[in-house]
Structures are given as structure tokens and as C-alpha cells.
Amino acid sequence: MKKLFLLFAASIMMFGAKADEGMWIPMLIGKNYDEMLRMGIMLSAEDIYSINHSSLKDAIVQFGGGCTAEMISANGLLLTNHHCGYDAIANLSTVDRNLLDNGFWAHDLKEELPANGVTALFLQSIADVTNEVKQAIGDAQGEEFSKKLEAITKTIEEREGQKGKFTANVKSYFNGNQFFLLIYKKYLDVRLVGTPPRSLGKFGGDTDNWMWPRHTADFSMFRVYANNENQPAPYSASNVPFEPRHHLPVSIRGQKEGDFAMVMGYPGRTNRYEVSYGVDLAVNVVNPSIVACRDLRLAIMRRHMDKDKSVYLKLTSRYSSIANYWKYYIGQTEQLKRLNIVDLKKANEDKFNKFERENGMNADLLGKFADLYAGYTPYAKHSVYYNEGFRASAIARMGSSMKPLYDAYQRHANSKSKEAISKDTVEKYVNQVRTAYRSNLKEFDLGTEKEMMAEMTRLYHDNVPKNQLPDVFEKVIFNKENQKKCKGKDCCFTGTSYTEYADYVFAHTMLADSNKFNEFCKAPSFEKLKKDEAVTYALSFVNNYNTNYQPKVEAFTYKKADLSRQYVHELLMKSREKNMYPDANSTMRISYGKVKSYEPQDGIHANYFTTLDGLVTKYKPGSDEFDAPKELINLYHEKNYGRYADRDGSLHTCFITDNDITGGNSGSPVINAYGELVGAAFDGNWEAMSGDIAFDKKYKRTIVCDIRYILFLVDKLGHANNLIKEMDIRE
């Protein structure tokens, strides 16, 4: 066993597989440094990541919990994607002051707007805590492994967080074979500084999303504020601009094919060690089910958003998020099929089986995976429709939040106690309900919600196996006998359509009326809950899922985690002569490659950059996806590009590299060989959307908004010369 452990330890420390593949841990980037030198980097490894000195990592921010940003001035100015700031911009917009549609630029600090709830995390250090974690877990498996991991994680994070001074996160790498502790400082006062109009920030809309060529100005600017000691503090008028340890200088010299390109950021999740059975399930069951639910959700939302600008502003952030991954799952499925990933993985798994036999392991891991997936597949669709279909409506989520309170009343009633249920118990659950209600109310539009509930209930019924449906269908919606008894009365549902059922539910619930809801919270009772039709509807789904299917999902998840942990452990031993990297897990990573064109199809060459000429060619006045401000069109005709023009006189809008990125890298800086910012990464390309499961060297590209286009819009369209002056711009 000692020999096996040493082989494992050696293999996980090896990095640098292919220059353009891999998302590497910055603390260990020295393992890649020779390859980076060969490709042209002019920085030292210490320049990239250092604990004791200022380095590039100090300029990289985890923004808002799901994106990346970078510091671009000594005064806390931050650059990220437009779609990363979208929610904050929408929340700051009103019908009368529509920052989202019209754009916004602060011309001094006083004009900057607090972005409530947006945070900026700065990485302080990374430490390997594998030994401590593994000693605490021992030989535990399944749910016990998860509980012990949660316990030791909490212990380490509380210890290292120093009573809230830092944010400490223990993260799993290589499917639970290695663990790192990441220490952050979290800044809470973040303010909107600038955003282009939505027509530019989302130019191309859903049509161009995940596509190349692109002409999208996908950027926004914020500023991080701190107290007088440069430390994190809640929003206060007395706070001052944060002074980062490092900020990125900006190069407007431009890029050419073959130039070195490095991306630093917080990629979310990849699953490149997934087995063929998992890919097959995704392609044939999970992804198509997600797409079906999201297709319908988007169509419903779009109809109501188009009718009313206030509804548009309320729903647009959620719509954009749903739409992004709706198209992602379509593309991922298409590319997994096109590249024959299931067959390729099966071929590699045959080699793995041979390795097991030759080394006397006799684990038959792939056989166990096969049995596991065979047992889970009949329930996989139900799980998707529950989360993507039933829970798509706010009324369903609101009703679901009542379950703890309902169950507490039910337990008390079953106990036959003569005493009233404890006020403290009721108060605790009512407070939870209030929190959930407020959260859902932010995106609650009555017309949208009625249609959403009706259509999602229909979709659920038509797609989930009939023997897995909740009892609300039989007892309420299709209960003909009960409907006959109630005909002409208001005591039960007597309609014949899902639309009528939704109308009935909304007419008989406190959840659609905040005044009635608040009255209930002041004087809650079990009788009121039992008579509420939205609660009846929601709990039918919740109880059915929690009782009959969640245990199957959890058992599958625990067993898969155990098998995956062992599988990756053995893969690392099998591949000890090769270089491997851990899946992305929302921690800082580095990828490196080059500015590079590609051939998406036979006979078609895709250039590595786009220009404003291409945007104007796509321009359609009044279009929801391809409109643009008249001032930009005028600047184009005048060719008034200033110092942001390329050598050929054109204004470059976007470019592509062969860097390895995924969701979470949105807003990541693309950095040249000299450590200068040359663009903001914002998307991947259609032909490589299998990348989260299987990297494809031939097709994988990162789509980047050229920093020159960003600065041109800040300067010429936003007239925010104050921002231009505070950056270190290098020509």
C-alpha cells in the first residue's frame, strides 16, 4: 500500500498535459513553468502566484459567487462580464431609469451605485490539508464519508477563518483524493461604475450565444470599497476605494495569431473523469429533459416580459440565466454525440479494465458503475422534472417552503397532545417561510406564475412515468367523482384544464397575496395550511419526491462518489507517467495557450478576431438581439476609433484563444506574456461544448472581448475619461 500511495502522490503532482488543456492549481504552477516559457511567457512563476509578494493572483477576484473579475486600477476598479453584473444592473434599474437598457457611467466616485449583495473574494493562500482530512475520514464510505468530510471541513474552516476575519474553504480535488484549504478576504461593499447598454452587452442574444464569430461587448465595471484600513466592511458612505496588492496593467498593442495567452479565474465545474454510463445518461435522458423544461419556461417568461417593461426588468436576470444553460445543454448533447464521446470513453475503460486485471486489483469498478447506472436510470428523468419543471414556478417553491411548518403541526396532531404546539417551534418555521417568501417574491409576476404553474404541471404529467406521479393528479386534478360532488360549489376543483386548475389554486391560496400571507404569519394555524390549495399542490409533489425518489437519488449519489473516488485514484496510478489535472471546482485556476483561429467545419476557416464592421453587418435597428446605439453606428461611419484601432485601422471587437475554461471563468482576464490585460473571457464555442466532460484540442476555443473595444466604448460612448485616466494603459 505504501508503494501505491507514493505512486498516487507523484502522479497528482504532475502537471502540464497539453499546453492548451487543463485548469491548473496556481500554488503548483511551477510544475508548468517550463512549458509556459517555451510558449513565450516573460513572467516568473513568482510573478504569477506568490504568498509573500504581490502577484497576478492578487488581481483576480471571485465576483458575486459565480463569476470572475480582475482589478484594473490601484483604486479598486474592477472589470467583469456584462452578464456577470446583469442581476445587479437589473436590480438598480427602474422603468424610469433603465440602466440595463440605456447603459450607465459614473463620472466620479459620488455617482457610483451600491450593488447590494454583490461581493468580491480575494484569495490569500492555498494549503494542502489532505492528511488532516483523510485521517478524520478514515475508511468511511457513502453517507458516512460525506458526514465525516462535512465535520472535518467545518472544523478546519472555523479554525482558519479566525472568527470571521477570513473566509476559509476546504475543497475536494481529484474526486475526493486530495483536499486544499483556500483562505479569502471577502469585500462586501461593491458599487456599479459602468455598463454599456444591454444592446451591446448582450449583442447577438440567444442566437449568437456560444457561437463564433461574436461582436458582444460583454463587460461591466464595478469598484470595491473598504474601510479606512483597507479591510472589508459593510456598505458605508465613509468607505473608500479598496487598494489591491496588485492590479493588471492594460495593453492596447493588440494580439496576433500565436501570441501567448493566459486565463486566471474561478472555473465552476467540469466532469472529465465521468464514465461512459454517465455520459450516455446525460445524452439520452438528463440533457433532453432539462432542455424540454427550459424551452417551456423561457417561452412563458418571454411572452410576459414582452408585454410589460416592469415584468421584463423583474424577470430578465432569471431569464438570461435559464437561457444560457438551456442552449448549453443543447450544444453539449450535440457535441458529445458528434465526437462519439461515449464510445471513446468505453475504449479507454477497456484499457482501464485491463490495467486492473494486470495489477491484480480485481475491483471491477466499471462493472459496478454499470450496475449503479442501470438501477438509477428509471428515476433520472423524474429527478430532472422535479427540479427543472415543478420547481420552475415560484408558487411551487413558496408552497414547498411550508413543509417544515406543516410537518411540525402534523407531528403535534399525531401525538394527541392536549397542549398547543410550542410558540417557539411555530415561530422558528414561520421565520423560515418568511425568508423563502421574500426571496421568491422578487421575481413573482402573477400572470407569468399562473401560466408557469399550469404548463409545468402539464409537462410533468406528460413526461414523468405514470407510476411515479404525485397523488395531486389523481386526488384533485383528475378526480372526476369529487368534481361531480362539488359541481357548482367552491369546495374543490371542478375544471377540465391545467389553466383552470392554476386559476383555482391561485384563487384559494394566501401565497399569491402578500397581505394574506402576512396575516397568516401573524396568526398561523394548521387548519389554514390544510385548506391552502397551493400548499396542497406543492406538498403533494414534495412528499412524493422526498419519500419515494430522493432516497434513490441520494443512494446513487453516495455510491457514485465512492466509485468515482476509487476510479480516479486508480486512474492516477495507471497514468503516473502522464500529466493529469483535477476537475474544476470553483477555485482559482490557471490555463495557458495561444491566440488561435480554427476550422469549425470542413472547408471553413474561422479567423481569430472580429471587428466593428461585422457588428454593423449584423445590425438590425429595433431588434431585440441585434440592435445597437445610434451613437455607436455614427462612430463607426466616422471611423472615430482613436488609439484603440488595430494596425490595419479597424476596431477589433473580440478574439479567440485555445485556453481551457468553463462556466465561472466568465469575466476572467486574458493576460499576455508580459502580465498585461488584453481582454475579458466571456464564452466558449459551439463546436467544443462537450468540453466540461471531454476536452477537444482541435475545436476548443475561448471567446474574449478585446480590451481595446472595451476601452473604446468607455471612452467614446460612455465619455468616462475619468476611468480611462485611472488605468495603467500601455501602447
Per-residue pLDDT tens over the stretch 455-497:
999 999 999 999 999 999 999 999 877 777 776 556 688 888 9
pLDDT of 574 reads 83
Domain ranges in the chain?
A: 44-248, 276-388, 393-548, 589-730
Region 102-108 average pLDDT? 98
Region 555-569 average pLDDT? 97
At residue 242, φ and ψ (nearest 5 deg) are -65, 140
Answer whether residue 5 shows pLDDT above 50. no
The C-alpha cell 466568465 sits at 666
pLDDT in tens, 509-555: 999 999 999 999 999 999 999 999 999 999 999 999 999 999 999 99
CATH number of 589-730: 2.40.10
pLDDT in tens, 29-66: 988 999 999 999 999 999 999 998 999 999 999 999 89
- Per the residue annotation, which of 87, 206, 218, 658 is the catalytic one? 218
CB 82 within 8 A of CB 201: yes
Torsion of Cα atoms, 188 then 194 then 199 then 204, to 10°? -60
Pairwise CA distance, residues 123 & 187, whole Å: 11
In this structure, of 447-456, 473-482, 559-568, 646-655, the range with the lowest mean pLDDT score is 473-482
pLDDT of 454 reads 98
Q: pTM of the predicted model, to two decimals? A: 0.94
Positive or negative, the CA dihedral 361, 367, 371, 373 is positive
Mean of pLDDT over the chain: 94
Positive or negative, the CA dihedral 481, 485, 490, 494 is positive
% of the chain exceeding 70 in pLDDT: 96
Q: How many CB atoms lie within 10 A of CB 566?
A: 18
Pairwise CA distance, residues 637 & 654, whole Å: 19
Could you give the angle at the alpha carbon of 590 between the alpha carbons of 584 and 593, nearest 5°? 110
- Per the residue annotation, which of 20, 55, 83, 692 is the catalytic one? 83
Region 643-657 average pLDDT? 97
Evaluate the omega torsion of the peptide bond into residue 197 and state whether it is cis, within 30 degrees of 0.
no
Pairwise CA distance, residues 532 & 98, whole Å: 38
User: Environment class of residue 497 by beta-carbon count within 10 Å: exposed (0-12), middle (13-18) or buried (19+)?
Assistant: exposed
Cell of 351: 484499457
Cell of 41: 511567457
pLDDT of 673 reads 98
Answer whether residue 639 shows pLDDT above 50. yes
Pairwise CA distance, residues 264 & 591, whole Å: 7
Answer whether residue 414 shows pLDDT above 80. yes
User: Environment class of residue 33 by beta-carbon count within 10 Å: exposed (0-12), middle (13-18) or buried (19+)?
Assistant: middle
Cell of 171: 475543497
Region 179-192 average pLDDT? 98
Q: Give Cβ neighbours of residue 179 (< 8 Å, ≥ 6 apart).
A: 128, 129, 130, 133, 134, 170, 171, 172, 173
pLDDT of 580 reads 82
pLDDT of 68 reads 98
pLDDT in tens, 667-683: 999 999 999 999 999 99
Q: Which of 653, 648, 638 shows the shortest CA–CA distance to 707?
A: 653
Region 573-588 average pLDDT? 86
Q: How many CB atoms lie within 10 A of CB 117?
A: 12
> Is the pLDDT higher at 143 or at 15?
143
Answer whether residue 14 shows pLDDT above 70. no
pLDDT of 488 reads 57
Torsion of Cα atoms, 12 then 18 then 20 then 24, to 10°? 10
% of the chain exceeding 90 in pLDDT: 89
Region 590-601 average pLDDT? 96
pLDDT of 17 reads 45
Answer whether residue 293 shows pLDDT above 70. yes
Pairwise CA distance, residues 170 & 150, whole Å: 10
CB 616 within 8 A of CB 637: no
Q: Which of 146, 224, 254 shows the shortest CA–CA distance to 670?
A: 254
pLDDT of 530 reads 95
CB 548 within 8 A of CB 541: no
pLDDT of 10 reads 36
Cell of 402: 411550508
Name the helix (H) or strand (E) containing 195: strand 189-195
Q: Which of 139, 135, 136, 127 shows the shortest CA–CA distance to 173?
A: 127
Concerning whether 83 is annotated as a catalytic residue, the answer is yes
- Per the residue annotation, which of 220, 564, 666, 690 is the catalytic one? 666
pLDDT of 494 reads 83
Concerning whether 218 is annotated as a catalytic residue, the answer is yes
Q: Which of 231, 276, 279, 255 shows the shortest CA–CA distance to 122?
A: 231
Pairwise CA distance, residues 443 & 455, whole Å: 18
pLDDT in tens, 237-259: 999 999 999 999 999 999 999 99
Pairwise CA distance, residues 80 & 87, whole Å: 13
3-state secondary structure of 596: coil
pLDDT of 484 reads 72
Q: If pLDDT is split at 50, 70 and 90, which confidence band does 268 have?
A: very high
Answer whether residue 435 shows pLDDT above 70. yes
Q: Which of 70, 72, 58 shows the shortest CA–CA distance to 727?
A: 72
pLDDT of 486 reads 72
pLDDT of 2 reads 34
CB 564 within 8 A of CB 273: yes
pLDDT of 491 reads 67
pLDDT of 233 reads 97
pLDDT in tens, 196-236: 999 999 999 999 999 999 999 999 999 999 999 999 999 99
CB 75 within 8 A of CB 58: no
